């Protein structure tokens, strides 16, 4: 860990020079200091300073300012479209909303300011002052924890987590992002205080959860959430996947750890957060569809379709997007069994064509999910499925090039059927359209207007419908 390699952006240096010229001290703190020491590029740069808010407003009066945090000592300066937060050294009062302090006390003691931080690795300060530039201020041993990959709180964790219970989620998030261990006393405190997470808004919880899902290996954080009991507080449906039930000596795989394996496998090949969510929820309905049938064993019939319906309810409760992202996850959860069925059977043009029609532009993501879902320890069986998936992928490619089956639009519209046969809106129009679609998907006719119109007349005749004047 090389402190000499810390690079400060030009804008940060400019802010520093302005503060110093007015006789104030200043340090970079929090995540930017931590990430700099780890050799990571900080996303944001936060500065703490001896300057009071009114002094910062005066010093930077010729810049665009954000003053929404001024009562808590924070003034943000906009430079080249990017905000840089500067906060006066302070002590925090009580946290009645468990997010923001009710009041703050401005102080001159940097160590007192650092004590209010969530973790020791974020309670580091790097001097920006001429007399001791680059000096690391580390009153709580954060540098050693950073080097050892340890997460712990600067104060008693009960105090830290009581002020803002979301910090328990942040502990798991940092562990997942950085592949750090949570110090035992800190982790025990998370277990003891897990129920306090209920007072935190779903939006804030899911912001941290999505950062866990976006980490290089999400299972690290997901396991910690389950082990700490936090997961059962805000996501009991996922916790319910854990465990193996035995009847007559017959058990089934632990669907929680299977799910984590699938999420990690998807994450190795894709940064798509919502594909990772589809992996997380692909078996979410197995606990409610689980049934033991003597002579057959454990079954989970229809879990993909039940899971598809559950996605909407979960997204609504967890305050996740109620838009195309949700529909995307629903589609992949609902379809994730289809390629497996095809791969385990004869790979027919008709079955693949229907899959392509239903998946549309998301077919490649669906195949990625399904390949990740093959976690069998029977390597012969696993390889057979993966080989067959390659056949499915090739047939998908061939059929798409030949038939244009994705994002299927019928070559004959309802309006054209009505005009051809002089029909008012009625059930027969839908019957004819559906018959044409099924004929194309079954390969009876090609996906083109000529063959579709010819088939239209054939179906209409079978329904006793004749073209006017014929």
- Residue extents of the structural domains in the chain: 3-148, 149-234, 414-462
Please give the pLDDT value at position 338.
Answer: 86
The answer to whether 321 touches 315, Cβ cutoff 8 Å, is yes
User: What is the pLDDT, as a whole number, of residue 244?
Assistant: 82
Superfamily, domain 3-148: Beta Polymerase, domain 2 (3.30.460.10)
On whether the CB atoms of residues 29 and 114 are closer than 8 A, the answer is: yes
How crowded is residue 240: how many other Cβ atoms within 10 Å of its Cβ? Answer: 15
Backbone angles phi, psi at 370, to 5 degrees: -65, -35
pLDDT < 70 stretches in the chain: 1-6, 93-103, 343-347, 402-408, 468-470
- Measured at the CA of 276, the angle between CA 272 and CA 229, to 5 degrees, comes to 135
Structure confidence by residue, pLDDT tens digits, 272-289 = 999 999 999 999 999 999
Distance between CA 408 and CA 463 in Å, rounded?
25
216, 268, 253, 276: which is closest to 375 by C-alpha? 253
Dist CA 224 CA 189 (whole Å)? 13
Give the model's pLDDT for residue 6.
Answer: 66
Chain position carrying tokens 């790979």? 347
Query: How is domain 149-234 classified at the CATH fold level?
Result: Hydrophobic Seed Protein (1.10.110)
Q: Which residue in 185, 159, 186, 193 sits closest to 171, CA to CA?
A: 186
Is-contact 203 193, C-beta < 8 A?
Answer: no
pTM above 0.75, yes or no: yes
Domains 3-148 and 149-234 share a fold: no
How far is it, in rounded angstroms, from Cα 381 to Cα 460?
A: 48
Alpha-carbon distance values, 8 to 11, 14, 25, 137 (Å): 8, 10, 16, 17
Strands (E), 50-94: 64-66, 74-79, 82-88, 90-92
pLDDT of 95 reads 54
What is the predicted pLDDT for the residue at 116? 86
Determine contact, residues 168/194, Cβ cutoff 8 Å: yes
């Amino acid at each position: 860990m090389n402190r000499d390699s810390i690079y400060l952006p030009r804008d940060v240096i400019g802010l520093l020079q302005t503060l110093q010229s007015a006789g104030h001290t200043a340090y970079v703190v929090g995540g930017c200091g931590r990430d700099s020491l780890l050799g990571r590029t900080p996303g944001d740069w936060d500065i703490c300073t001896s300057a009071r808010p009114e002094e910062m407003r005066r010093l930077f009066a010729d810049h665009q300012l954000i003053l929404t945090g001024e009562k808590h000592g924070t003034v943000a300066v906009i430079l080249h479209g990017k905000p840089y937060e500067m906060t006066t050294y302070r002590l925090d009062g009580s946290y009645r909303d468990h997010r923001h302090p009710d009041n703050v006390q401005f102080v001159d003691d940097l160590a007192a300011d650092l004590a209010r931080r969530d973790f020791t690795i974020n309670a580091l300060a790097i001097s920006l002052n001429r007399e001791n530039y680059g000096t690391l201020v580390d009153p709580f041993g954060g540098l050693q924890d950073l080097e050892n990959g340890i997460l712990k709180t600067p104060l008693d964790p009960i105090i830290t987590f009581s002020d803002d219970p979301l910090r328990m989620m942040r502990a798991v998030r940092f562990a997942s992002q950085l592949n750090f261990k949570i110090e035992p006393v800190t982790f025990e405190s998370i277990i003891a205080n897990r129920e306090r997470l209920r007072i935190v808004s779903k939006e804030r919880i899911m912001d941290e959860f999505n950062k866990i899902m976006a980490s290089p290996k999400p299972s690290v954080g997901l396991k910690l959430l389950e082990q700490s009991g936090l997961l059962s507080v805000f996501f009991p449906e996922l916790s319910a996947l854990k465990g193996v039930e035995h009847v007559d000596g017959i058990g089934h795989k632990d669907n929680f750890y299977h799910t984590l394996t699938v999420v990690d496998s998807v994450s190795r090949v894709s940064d798509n957060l919502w594909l990772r969510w589809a992996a997380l929820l692909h078996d979410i309905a197995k606990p409610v569809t689980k049934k033991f049938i003597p002579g057959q064993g454990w079954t989970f019939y229809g879990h993909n379709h039940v899971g598809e319906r559950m996605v909407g309810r979960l997204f609504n409760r967890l305050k996740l997007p109620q838009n195309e992202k949700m529909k995307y996850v629903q589609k992949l959860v609902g379809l994730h069994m289809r390629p497996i069925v095809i791969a385990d059977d004869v790979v027919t043009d008709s079955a693949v064509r229907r899959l392509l029609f239903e998946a549309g532009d998301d077919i490649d993501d669906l195949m990625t999910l399904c390949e990740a879902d093959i976690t069998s320890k029977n390597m012969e069986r696993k390889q057979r499925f993966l080989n067959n998936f390659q056949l499915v992928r090739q047939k998908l490619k061939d059929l798409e090039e030949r038939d244009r089956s994705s994002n299927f639009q019928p070559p004959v519209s309802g309006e054209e059927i009505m005009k051809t046969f002089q029909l008012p809106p009625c059930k027969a129009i839908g019957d004819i359209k559906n018959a044409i679609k099924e004929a194309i998907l079954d390969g009876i006719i090609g996906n083109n207007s000529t063959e579709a119109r010819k088939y239209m007349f054939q179906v209409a005749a079978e329904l006793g419908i004749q073209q006017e004047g014929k």
